[in-house]
Amino acid sequence: MYYWISSGLQLLCCVIGLILFKDIWFNSKKALFPKLVALGVACITLGSLNDVAYFIVRKTQFNGLYIGFFGIIGCFLSLLSVSYGQLDRLFDDSSKAFFKYRIISISAPIVVSALFVPVFMTSNLPMSMRIFTFLGWLPAIFASYYNLKHSILPDCGFVFVKAVRPYNITAVILEVSYTIHIVLRIYQLNIGILISSIVVSSSLIALLYFAKKGVAQWTI
């Protein structure tokens, strides 16, 4: 039951966030950056909707591959597109001055990958599903590198770097907390599932808020 409460909470928070920040979608003058963030949250929304609908109809949880997981993959693919395709080419000029920040940022994917290790140790999933789940989590692992790097890079007079720092910090929190949430869900640790879901749901709303606030200071 905790699993479905957590899915319902995520669905509710995502819907509230998308409604509160609906102008991200409809204002054509907005940059692509917040729209991709909103697209990521929309993917989570559809995934959570699928989870809740499945429970209402079947009165049970998924066993094996489930469609809602593709919503999670879509979310982190969108966040990776934001960081790699939209922001990194602006923030990091590949100069030696930023080398130490690139090294420090490697810690993020290492941590996220380490948190994911228990998935390979569980007997609740066949090995093929464990491998598939890990492959699906690669966008979150790679995105965490860029989000951490963009959180610690100096702005060098470019105000947008500082403006989107809260967004990037929130994205790192989301990537870490969602990884923990997935592991807890696989191990069926009910209280942990609910607590981690609260963190994930709050992060999703904050992601939209900080993306909108940050792009308001876009100066390019």
Can you tell me the distance from the alpha carbon of 7 to that of 33, in angstroms, rounded to the nearest whole number? 26
* Residue 43, CA atoms < 13 Å, CB-side half-sphere: 18
How open is the CA angle 46-113-10, to the nearest 5 degrees?
25
Question: Are the C-beta atoms of residues 37 and 208 closer than 8 Å to each other?
Answer: yes
* Domains and their CATH numbers in the chain: 2-215 (1.20.1070)
Task: Please report, as a single letter, which amino acid is at residue 35.
Answer: K
- Regions of the chain with pLDDT less than 70: 1, 26-30, 59-66, 157, 218-220
| Both tokens assigned to 125 | 């999933």
| Both tokens assigned to 44 | 């989570």
Closest CA to 176 of 208, 136, 148, 210: 148
At 64 the three-state DSSP class reads coil
Which DSSP helix (H) or strand (E) runs through 42?
A: helix 32-58
| Both tokens assigned to 96 | 């030696």
Which DSSP helix (H) or strand (E) runs through 198?
A: helix 190-215
Span 187-202, pLDDT tens digits: 888 899 999 999 999 9
